[in-house]
Amino acid sequence: PRLARAIAAEPRLGATAATAAYFLAADGTPKTAGTELRNPALAATLARIAAEGPDAFYRGAIAAAIVAAVAAGPNPGTLSDADLAAYRPVRRDPVCGPYRVHIVCGVPPPSAGGIAIVQILAVLAPFDPATVAALDTRARHLFAEANRLAYADRDRHVADPAFVAVPTAGLVDPAYLAARARLIDPAATRGPVPAGTPGGAGTAFADDTLSGEDATSHLSVVDAEGNAVALTTTVESVFGARIMAAGFVLNNQLTDFAFLPEIDGRPVANRLEPGKRPRSAMSPTIVLDADRRLVMTLGSPGGSAIIAYVARTLIAALDGRKDMSRAIAEPNIVNRNSATEIERGSTIEALVPALEALGHTIARPRLESGLHGIRVLATGLDGGADPRREGVVRGD
């Protein structure tokens, strides 16, 4: 049903033959819930990559199909065979920070997720775990205010480190975060806060509050040997660029860049530049104990709200000691340094009058997270999948 609603709400799926054939009926109307979708082209693509490795994607028939689809699209692009062949993934060191007795590790820039989650947790660490994990007004206020600080820094400082000197070490420095934590007033919201000036910050960038689109997927895996994966991926906008090639939609990642290169005469760190990787909020996260043994793998889709979804779940699981399913299912609350967003229809909507009394401006969006998490226990693995989406838990 969720996919059917998305198809019905997207007017541009008929712009290319491949997209129309997959998502629309023969008469051009949206396919409805209960319709069986078959995708032999994607099956062939996956089989080829499985047999030949990653080069099968970046060279040969699959790459040629991508280039041809882009050239034939409604807004033809200049992507070439050489562009795909020259692409290289970059292996980066994770961003890690302490949270009470645990070590929380996430992805570094150009994603803002790893930095922001370490920041939110560090700002809340001085408070008692039971206080932070409660589902009451005080806890939700503190969480929203910690969100403000992290999102303010994200909007100014984070972009592709190949193009911008991102002050990652300064942003997660304990002394810097202790100073940021002192900005929180437990008795009232500060409203929108300015970004901080961490050690290593150079260029005086303008703030870019672009939130990006919500078309992300996440999965978490732990195998029998204890190897763990937290994988977040996105096509940016539900149907990506509304162009299909070799059985899959092509991404629309340009919308993760700032639309303005400068604001009030100051450059924007995440401005569009050739060869640059866009900033995201993807937050695949792995938690370790003090001996660096695996404790948890976690992540979520959800656009720029991903950061808050993952941080909120970590607090529920680590401080609230809830099992993964209960931690994931807790109501979502997000503050992207603007209104405090309360999940529509959730139990914490009852807190709205009290939060407004503290000065919060309240919004009530759906906040449709899609969290997947696995925790390692002495008795085995504890998995959880978000009831807001279609994910399920499976194990041997």
Q: Answer yes or no: 216 catalytic.
A: yes
DSSP E strand stretches across 66-191: 95-99, 102-106
Each as own residue / partner, the long-range contacts of residues 128-135 (CB below 8 Å, 24 or more positions apart, any chain) are 129/100, 129/318, 129/319, 129/320, 130/319, 132/315, 132/319, 133/315, 133/316, 133/319, 133/320, 133/321, 134/320, 135/330, 135/331, 135/347, 135/348
Q: Which residues pair with 262 in a beta bridge?
A: 267
Q: What's the token pair of residue 170?
A: 């300064």
**Measured between alpha carbons, how far is 87 from 69 in angstroms, rounded to an integer?**
18
End-to-end Cα spacing for the chain: 29
Distance CA 139, CA 125 (A): 12
Tokens representing 343? 């999940």
DSSP 30-77: BP-TTPPP--HHHHHHHHHHHHH-THHHHSSHHHHHHHHHHHTSSS--
Q: Would you tell me how many other CB atoms lie within 10 Å of the CB of residue 175? A: 10
CA distance 332 to 346: 8
How far apart CA 362 and CA 369 sit, in angstroms, is 19
Question: Which DSSP helix (H) or strand (E) runs through 376?
Answer: strand 372-377
Residues 19, 45, 189, 216: which is the catalytic one? 216
In terms of Cβ atoms closer than 10 Å to its own Cβ (0-12, 13-18, 19+), residue 218 is: buried
Contacts of 283 (CB under 8 A, 6+ apart): 106, 107, 111, 113, 114, 116, 117, 232, 299, 300, 306, 307, 309, 310
Q: Give how far the C-alpha of residue 368 lies from the chain's centroid of Cα atoms, to the nearest Å.
A: 12
Token pair 């979520």 is at which residue? Answer: 300
Half-sphere CA count of 378, side-chain side, radius 13 A = 0
Residue positions annotated with a catalytic role: 216
